[in-house]
Structure 1
């Protein structure tokens, strides 16, 4: 949030490329800082004892920890939807994304709103890192592999759409998993094929609104 206040906020209004490049550079600086302080080698992260093993679903055995992650994600998505769609703060966020000038004219401090939104987004990213640690271990680059997938999901779902992010994430995940099962060589290419196909039909994404980023 300090980065948003002192580094990113001065770049608002200059085009999306400026804050994107700044945060991209900050991410690399943070990764290198972690390498310098704690080293380059990854370390395992044990699954909590209460969540180890598998749960019988009646038709199959499924890892208990993955069920826990699914539950946390579902609860988090429900909370985000309620915040964005059913509260006055969410109304301000949606209005500010469309026309921040009008929102300022109405007396709302949009800068404070973006500060809170940035903090919430960063907190969710941190939670995602903690939840994924038992699945892949902890390493300085553990977030790097997610960037490409996150970019594809954002483009496919549509900028500014929570429903779009959920649908696109499920679509990309299922298609890539099926590709790994039947055609492993094309697994990584599959999500880019989805993105190209969606952009050809709907440049704003599946649930995006035209002109949102203009």
Structure 2
């Protein structure tokens, strides 16, 4: 089956294919995740070298042929790779975004495309990189449809408040009150941490750096383990 289509793509990763070619993993706005094959893409004369650097996004015309996607032409592109690569913290964080997204997102979803695009864009302006890391993982869990139940006990359904909060369980999928128990309650996630998770899952990207967060690493690690078990 062959076909030509227009779409917008975000580059998740690039890898060598053979001696001269490139394979570029992208997430399309309409068609989801695909590998684009670029013949002789390793050579400097390839017209697609700059636009297909990791973390960039571009619009163009694509050819689907024999289960492979090829670029016919690129109409426009946004070069974020140079800005991100110029700072080690930004590069490591962008790479973290790409790896998580590539691992857990399988199906086409325009909301996820917009989320990824905004994540890279706002990262280039970041002063509080840790906030962006928590924002990314919280929103990824939320958009994947598996966000933990934090305002009610995930065992008995009781409304959770500061006084009756016991911890959070991946097994039951949320907060646990002091009257309930399960085998994997995480006592290190505080009531305040759950509030931070909820805020970051919904806050606009423009306000990410306005939030003061005490334990970003702890929240990030928990949500990584959570999405690993739930997706």
TM bucket by the smaller chain?
A: under 0.3
Higher helix share: 1
- TM-score norm. by structure 2 comes to 0.26
Higher strand share: 2
- TM-score norm. by structure 1 comes to 0.28
Structure scoring higher RCO (CA < 8 A, sep ≥ 6) equals 1
